[in-house]
Amino acid sequence: MIPSMKPTIHLLVLAALLITVTPAIFSSEQQPLSDAERGEHLTVKVMTLGQGDPVYVWFGHIALIVEDGITGRSIMFDYGVFDFEQENFYTNFAMGRLYYRVMASYAQQRITYALDERRNTSMITLNLSPAQRYRIYAFLLDNVRPENSTYLYHHYRDNCSTKIRDVIDMAVDGQFQQWADQVPSPYSYREHIRRYTGGHLLMDFVLNFLQSGRIDQPISLWDEMFLPDRLEEALRSFSYIDQSGSQIPIVASREVLGTFDERPAVPEEWQPHWPAALLLGSAVGLLGMFLHLKLWIHGLDPMRKHRHILAGLFDLIMGLIGGTLGSVLLFMLCFTDHDVTFGNTNVLLLHPLLLLLIPLGIMLMNGSTRALTLIDIVWGVSALSGILLIILKIFAIISQHNQLSAALIIPLLVAMGLPPIGIAIRARRHKEQQNEP
């Protein structure tokens, strides 16, 4: 992806290349040859890149390279291009409408950039007939034209990897999809993503929290090729039937261009992390309960202001974090095209109501008794909402895999929401007993 290229001079060089490469590849196609004859001079390769440093390259990258024996050019066709300077880029991103495009550039320059970024890089050569090679090349030439180059990106269904998967499938007349659809994936979309985010606990939580049960359904090998490394692995296992009826392995050869010790292989198994999340959520919940316990039992004490100041600060911080994240989720699932958030039951865990803890926390820090009562109501409603989620999961009414989110958040909600309810009920009963004759 272009935004990952460093330093800035690389971008300047690449921009100059883009100005010249597109007209050059079109001008080279003035050859009076048949498709098969033209294809004799073409070699089609797939370059796969491992993880990079920015978040948007954590999942790797992949591109097609066409080497042209007539022109002597080696052109990379890259479907992973986006531009932060694009008009309304951030608005479109927030609304789930991210526009990517395919770009043609000189392959060697791009390979050099990838190795400069110390990203694991491999190259496979596709074993295709001359007519198939030309079919791919002609499709790419048409796709890279300005009027055809832009597409609406989707992380799972329409990205840099699925585009190349589809081009290769076209060349073998649909045999690639027919084969891959029959092979079940061992993991769902969510579990595949967690293989990549497992070492980044905060991002692992946020991505899990924001995405709904839509990414928990069983998928096939065809679906999991949204990941570049899975696409390369699938190609290395795939053979197609040619016109003579022979079975042809689609990969002719594989070359490793660079491996780097600081870029370990993506783990084959994902890490659940919910036990650690349960411990953390319980610890935060116990801290909040400790800070509020004296206030729940005895109320505010003007002689011990530190109690309500610390309790109010805790509520403010929890409201800022939980309320903001819950509001973002509710906005995404109600008002955007981020379909992976639709129907997300995590809105029962964190929601905009928690934003009230921000002003109420400030009021409590200033000694407001009414603020303490309202805070107890907010936490109580949130705890009941979290318990509702548990009940829905126990009776299999919902199937979203949100164990990580629940393990982190529900202990906090229960610790902050149920004790004041219990204390209030006990106090009321005690008062009723005192009033009895």
Per-residue pLDDT at 7 exceeds 50: no
- Is the N-terminal amide bond of 352 cis, ω within 30° of 0? no
Q: What percent of the chain has pLDDT over 70?
A: 90
Report the alpha-carbon angle 220-187-231, nearest 5.
55
Give the model's pLDDT for residue 428. Answer: 65
Q: Which of 10-14, 179-183, 353-357 has the lowest mean pLDDT?
A: 10-14
Among the ranges given (32-41, 156-165, 296-305), the one the predictor scored with the smallest mean pLDDT: 32-41
CA angle (159, 165, 166) in 5-degree steps:
90
Whole-number pLDDT of residue 102: 95
Average pLDDT, the chain: 89
**Which of 47, 102, 38 lies closest to 70, judged by CA?**
38
Fold of 2-185+220-258: endopeptidase fold (from Nostoc punctiforme) (3.90.1720)
Of 433 and 105, the structure prediction assigns the larger pLDDT to: 105
Say how far apart CA 126 and CA 45 lie, in whole Å. 6
pLDDT of residue 53: 86
> How crowded is the C-beta side of 395, counted as CA atoms within 13 Å?
6
- CB–CB of 261/118 below 8 Å? no
Given a cut of 50, is residue 89 above it in pLDDT? yes
DSSP 8-state symbol, 158: B
Sign of the Cα pseudo-torsion (180, 263, 76, 40, in order): negative
CA pair distance 165, 46, nearest whole angstrom = 10
pLDDT in tens, 391-402: 999 998 988 999
pLDDT of residue 37: 86
What confidence tens digit (pLDDT) does each residue in 361-385 have?
Answer: 999 999 999 999 999 999 999 999 9
Confidence of residue 9 (pLDDT cuts 50, 70, 90): very low
- What does the DSSP assignment read for 49-99? E---SSGGGTT-EEEEEEEETTT--EEEEEEEE--TTSTTHHHHHHTT--E
Specify the pLDDT at position 427: 59
Q: Average of pLDDT values for 127-152? A: 95
329: confidence class by pLDDT, cuts 50, 70, 90: very high
Q: How confident is the model at residue 84, as a pLDDT?
A: 80
What is the pLDDT at residue 265?
A: 84
Q: What are the backbone dihedrals phi and psi of residue 345, each rounded to the nearest 5 degrees, phi first?
A: -75, -5
pLDDT tens, position by position, 172-224 = 999 999 999 999 999 999 999 999 998 888 999 999 999 999 999 999 999 99
Please list, residue by residue across 283-314, b when 16 or more beta carbons sit within 10 angstroms of its beta carbon and e when fewer do: ebbeebbebbeebbeeebeeeeeebbebbbeb
Q: What angle do CA 106, 112, 115 make, to 5 degrees?
A: 140
Q: What is the pLDDT of residues 45-54, one digit of tens each?
A: 999 999 888 8
Domain boundaries, the chain: 2-185+220-258, 274-432
Q: Which of 62, 74, 63 is nearest to 25 (CA)?
A: 74
Output the pLDDT for position 344.
Answer: 97
**Least confident stretch, 18-27, 250-259, 308-317, 390-399:** 18-27
Tell me: pLDDT of 431 over 70. no
- List pLDDT tens digits, range 13-37: 444 444 445 555 555 555 567 777 8
For the stretch 52-85, pLDDT in tens is: 888 888 899 999 999 999 999 999 999 988 888 7
pLDDT reading at 92 higher than 60: yes
Q: What is the mean pLDDT of residues 293-312?
A: 90
